[in-house]
Structure 1
Amino acid sequence: MVAVSSWGRLSRDEHEVRFLSDAAPFAAQLRSGTPGLARGLGRSYGDVCLNPGGVLWQTTALDRFLAFDEATGRLVCDAGMRLRDIQRMAIPRGWILPVTPGTQMVTVGGAIANDVHGKNHHAVGSFGDHVRRLSLVRTDGSVIECGPDLAPQWFAATVGGLGLTGVITCAEIQLRRVAGPWLDTETIPYANLDEFFALADASEAEWEYTVSWIDCLSGKGRGLFMRANAAAAGTRPEPKARARTMPFTPPVSLVNGLSLRLFNTAYFQAHKRDGRALAHYESFFYPLDNLLEWNRMYGPKGFYQYQSVVPRAAGRDAVQAMLKEIARSGDGSFLAVLKTFGDRASPGMLSFAQPGVTLALDFPNHGERTHALFERLDAVVREAGGRIYMAKDARMPRALFEAGYPRLHEFLGYRDPGISSALSRRLMGA
């Protein structure tokens, strides 16, 4: 048994870890006396990637490129392949992953199971929108091949299905053409939420990538709106990024009311005049990937991330109400993210993204005080008709989950009874 944590480091639970490989039939490797769960790089913040007391099928050894058509951009790879490795292979050949989350240290299987989104949902949707086929191995030994036009209900249950329908072993993904690794970017300061929404509305037609940093303690919601498009082809020197590591876990969280106010003020002042610039895709898409083990800064008790999405009609008032509660609590995040989702349906029954606006923040774990804040935020999300992102969640009430995911009952018919997680037991009872 091995102690395993998620990225939020809220617990260290004992698991039996088994590494999957292609040296033996997958069905034989999944036989277990207790329920198991596939796990990739463990970048989920909460308990969706944990199975305390049970088995974890570690997929990171399944990391091969199986086929790549350089003429069409069709990629077939193992589910344990890192998104970083796909990007570094594909971009020099004129292709790019259409969608990536805020870190490239995620496996393909994890990206599908959580139907991750990026900074361009309004333009291209979520990760699952670009998966053409996947292979799913069930714990009863059956293998299901599915895609948008092949066993589409199995596909819809598995995309965003939290790893609960079977173990994804490989996938076929459609990449997108790109001229190179560079982006034309623009940073625009905004003073309040009205200005944010005006910028978002004005940008979506002509800019593929849009996102904003928001000062969660400012009261009015000031921030920095960032937008980008792929740059034209050209030869430029690659940036020499140097990875740094948070070298230790401090005895208390370094994120507190004083450090937040100082950082947020300094960050806004430092970047409000950035304007137009040329940026490498790694620095724009994955700003924290060069600070290894950054999750240690929250101290030994770990941290939560709270990410919600609410419909656009209620978006301004709901975000303002959440920011008010956060400012009143004195807690919050250095990198609070506010962005809009496009008006498009998601591919998965339990996909998170829906038309509206999403706010994501990290919170140090202060026990009951933090949970009391979350209860107030939950009330705002529930009233607005929103939902919480399960890839980030470690404490959502079951009633809010059921209200936010109306296709849950349909999804339950596709669950694999030999698979379970801490999240599924908390929110689905098994």
Structure 2
Amino acid sequence: MPTSNMPQSWGRFPRVKHSHVVPVYWRHEVPQLDTFETSILPFAYGRSYGDSCLNEGGISLDVSNLRHFISFDEEEGLLRCEAGISLAEVLEVMVPRGWFLPVTPGTKFVSVGGAIANDVHGKNHHKAGTFGCHVTQLELLRSDGTHLLCSPTENSELFQATIGGLGLTGVILWAEFRLKRVQNPYIQMDNIQFGSLDEYRQVAEESDKDFEYTVSWVVCLGNEKEVGRGIYTRGNHDTTRPMPTDTQAKHLPLAVPFDFPSFTLNRLTIRAFNLAYYNKQLVKRVHKIEHYDPFFYPLDAIHTWNRMYGKRGFFQYQFVIPFEGGYDAMAEIMREINHSGEGSFLTVLKSFGDVRSPGMLSFPRPGLTLALDFANHGSKTFRLLDRLDALVNAAGGHIYPAKDARMHPEDFQRYFPAGRSLNTILIPSSLQVSGVVSLNP
């Protein structure tokens, strides 16, 4: 039976109405999709920042109950599970057995199906590529009721279109992907202060050779001396300790109990946070051993942190620009953000490698990528994002559609020319209708 609980994205913009939310409880008892008279789009935990998980006026197919493990090959590290399982559940079961996710985004509260549909990337893109690089096969339910096994060798075109395909090719019922061995749940990590983009470049080029995980927090709002400085984090899985016999005590997460008033996010409060965060480290380099949870998922310790941006929500804006000329372009983009007076508490700068994804619409490519959050201040914010689009385009860059809520159609077509053939692949799936909404907002 359809439910009345309407999904929303993590950025809480745009707010749309679906005709129905239809829950799925068993992968062998999915509703007859060809009986629905409107478009269908799968939905799990709503951790997509933009509109890629929304289907305005259509049906949202809630797959979050598809949470069963199916099989695990300990020799090959191949895990097969239903698509609604969260990465948190995979970690909880597999890390004590000596296995870890091949790639993980900045939150573990996403579904396996969502990780494939958005072809998520993490701190180890330069070594491991995207999540889709490690998927070996999946079962896809098309809206005409057809069940297809998709892999690099079977229904390979649909396999490529589904990885990074934003849920538009059908419903992923289960997937198989390869995990990586680890000795324990700990990370050997360094935090290194850098004072400029030039210094970031030096640290990044040194670190990408020897460290599996690299990322940095960077300042985009402040005076001329402050903008472009930050803290570079790098790490490898620890190999010096055995697997602990006792499980880590679970702490009750913090939560944001209400929507912050819009005036709490302003140039003064963001700059004060940046100063405090940068100066919390009293020496230039700090080495420590840390559990994987705070290393990969610091924001997961605060439930509903999206409420800090107020009722109007926020935009996460992520782009990648080529290395050639990229540092000059990045400096110009940061100057534009600083001049606007709009900024982000968490601004992430890192370098993508050249590991190519099988996904037709995969976002990462070699270059510099910046991700940051802008509170929704209406037309002022939209004008800033349009100016940033122009700078990214001039630098030969691309914007991440899985986090986007306002991309221009002509930009999408330029970033992903392979998307023009997507409708041919989608037929006879009625999901192509919602594709017009998600790909050309």
Give the TM-score taking structure 2 as reference length: 0.93
* Structure 1 segment 64-213 matched on structure 2, within 5 A: 64-213=68-217
More off after superposition, 385-394 vs 413-422 = 413-422
- The match for 2:431 among 400, 419, 423 is 419
User: Separation in 1 of the partners of 2:440 and 2:274?
Assistant: 38
Write the distance in 1 (CA, Å) between the matches of 2:208 and 2:260: 41
The structure 1 segments of at least 4 consecutive aligned residues displaced by more than 4 Å after TM superposition are 420-423
**Equivalent residue in structure 2 for 1:268, among 268, 278, 286:** 278
Match for residue 401 of structure 1 among 387, 406, 412: 412
Counterpart pick for 2:265 among 242, 255, 265? 255
Change (3 A) 1:162 1:152: same
Q: How much identity, in percent, do the aligned residues show?
A: 45
Equivalent residues in 2 for 1:257-406, closer than 5 Å: 257-271=267-281, 273=283, 275-406=286-417
Q: Aligned partners of 2:362 and 2:374: how far apart in 1?
A: 24
* Change beyond 3 A, Cα 1:33–1:284: same
TM-aligned CA deviation for residue 73 of structure 1: 1.2
Instruction: Report Cα offsets for 1:185-237 as digits up to 9, x if no partner.
Output: 00111111111111111111110000000011144400100000000133567
SS of the residue corresponding to residue 358 of structure 1 reads strand
The answer to whether the 8 Å contact 1:82/1:107 transfers is: yes
1:367-423 superposed Cα distances (whole Å, 9 cap, x missing partner): 111011111110111111111111110001111111111211233321254115767
Instruction: Letter of the 2:11 partner, please give it.
Output: G
Would the alpha carbon gap of residues 181 and 386 (structure 1) be closer, same or farther in structure 2, given more than 3 Å must change?
A: same
Q: Distance in 2 between matches of 1:428 and 1:328?
A: 30
Shift, 1:364, TM fit? 0.4
Counterpart position of 1:234:
242
Contact 1:214 1:221 (C-alpha < 8 Å) held by counterparts: yes
Q: Report 1:37-76 matches (<5 A).
A: 37-76=41-80
* Alpha-carbon shift at residue 88 of structure 1 (Å): 1.0
Contact 1:254 1:299 in 2 (8 A): no
Amino acid at match of 1:10: F
Q: Structure 1 residue 242: deviation in Å?
A: 3.7
Per the TM alignment, residue 133 of structure 1 is displaced from its structure 2 partner at its CA by 0.3
2:425 counterpart letter in structure 1: Y
Please state how far the C-alpha of 1:265 moved relative to its aligned partner: 0.4
CA distance in 2, matches of 1:19, 1:216: 42
The aligned residue for residue 410 of structure 1 is 421
What SS class does the counterpart of residue 300 from structure 2 fall into?
coil
Q: 18-27 or 198-207: which moved more? A: 18-27
Task: Give the 3-state SS of the residue equivalent to 2:262 in structure 1.
Answer: coil
* CA gap 1:44/1:29 in 2 versus in 1, 3 angstroms: same
Residues 1:120 and 1:168: Cα distance change in structure 2 (over 3 Å): same
Structure 1: state its 5+ residue gaps.
Answer: none
Q: Specify whether residues 215 and 143 from structure 1 end up closer, same or farther in structure 2 by C-alpha distance, changes over 3 A only.
A: same
Cα distance, 1:358 vs structure 2: 0.5
Instruction: Compare 347-356 and 266-275 and name the one that shifted more.
Output: 266-275
* CA drift at 1:272: 5.5
* Aligned partners of 1:36 and 1:56 also within 8 Å: yes
DSSP-derived class of the 2:137 partner: strand
Residue 3 (structure 1) aligned with residue 6 (structure 2): yes
CA distance in 1 between partners of 2:166 and 2:228 (Å): 33
8 Å CA contact 1:350, 1:411 repeated in 2: no
Q: Give yes or no for contact 1:20–1:29 (8 Å, CA) kept in 2.
A: no
For the residue of structure 2 that corresponds to 1:89, the secondary structure is helix
Equivalent position to 1:20, from 24, 46, 57: 24
The corresponding residue for 2:229 is: 222
Number of equivalent positions: 429
- Two-structure CA RMSD over aligned residues (Å): 1.8
Deviation of 1:317 (Å): 1.6
Q: Which moved more, 1:197-206 or 1:130-139?
A: 197-206
Deviation at 1:99, TM superposition (A): 0.3
Contact 2:40-2:434 within 8 A present in 1 as well: no
How far apart are residue 251 of structure 1 and its match?
3.1
CA contact (8 A) 1:47 1:423 kept: no
For each residue in 1:220-278, what CA deviation from the matched residue of structure 2 results, as whole angstroms up to 9, or x when unmatched?
A: 40010000000013356736544100011123253221110000000000035361011
Give the C-alpha shift of residue 427 in structure 1. 3.5
